[in-house]
Amino acid sequence: MKSVNKILFVCLGNICRSPLAEGICRAKAQAMGLQLTFDSCGTGGWHAGEPPDLRAQQCATRHGLSITDLRARKFVTADFDAFDLIYAMDMHNYSDLVRLAKTPAHKAKIRLLLNEVYPNENMPVPDPFYGRESDFEHAFDLLEQAAEVVLSNIKNR
């Protein structure tokens, strides 16, 4: 694979999991001295233009991060060219992205995020949208684990 500079995180609404992934990775990359670009989006566009869900913002704040300035947007096929890696949060997002990919090169950029931590298990980052604070904390914990692996792999390449 060509060098990785731009990483996109994709969930369903782009207001809970993927903005947290974006915020976590941006902060960790900066701390590690890695010059990478991150973005996030949703396979659905219902929340386009909105800031992250308040519970996701509060979860980030509890961990010393701010994701308040992020705004939701829907995935567009141009993202396949704009990003080097595209991480889906669950198999539903993954399948939706694969369906939109028109070339093998585009398809090769799509990965299930937690397979970086738990290879081949196809584990989701469970959607906390209909959950409670503990579900946001669980998602944050999984996203932090994934960020560690993704960024260490890039650093050590």
Q: Which positions are annotated as active-site residues?
A: 11, 17, 127
The answer to whether residue 22 forms part of the interface with ligand 4NP (CB under 6 A) is no
What would you measure as the largest C-alpha separation in the chain, in angstroms? 41
Q: Report the half-sphere exposure of 142 (CA within 13 A, side-chain side).
A: 22
* Size, binding site for ligand 4NP by CB under 6 A: 11
The answer to whether residue 15 forms part of the interface with ligand 4NP (CB under 6 A) is yes
Rounded least distance, CB 70 to ligand 4NP, Å: 11
The interface with ligand 4NP within residues 68-127 (CB under 6 A) comprises 127
Contacts of 92 (CB under 8 A, 6+ apart): 12, 43
The answer to whether residue 8 forms part of the interface with ligand 4NP (CB under 6 A) is no
> CA–CA separation, 117 vs 37, rounded Å?
21
Virtual torsion, Cα 30, 112, 140, 35, nearest 10 deg: 0
The answer to whether residue 14 forms part of the interface with ligand 4NP (CB under 6 A) is yes
> CA–CA separation, 67 vs 60, rounded Å?
7
When binding is defined by CB under 6 A, the residue of 7, 8, 12, 147 that contacts ligand 4NP is 12
Residue 118 or 131: which CB sits closer to ligand 4NP? 131
> CA–CA separation, 56 vs 47, rounded Å?
14
When binding is defined by CB under 6 A, the residue of 9, 13, 28, 29 that contacts ligand 4NP is 13
| Residue sitting closest to ligand 4NP (CB) | 13
When binding is defined by CB under 6 A, the residue of 7, 9, 17, 88 that contacts ligand 4NP is 17
β-strand partners of 110: 86
- Which residues are near ligand 4NP by CB under 6 A? 11-17, 42, 46, 127, 129
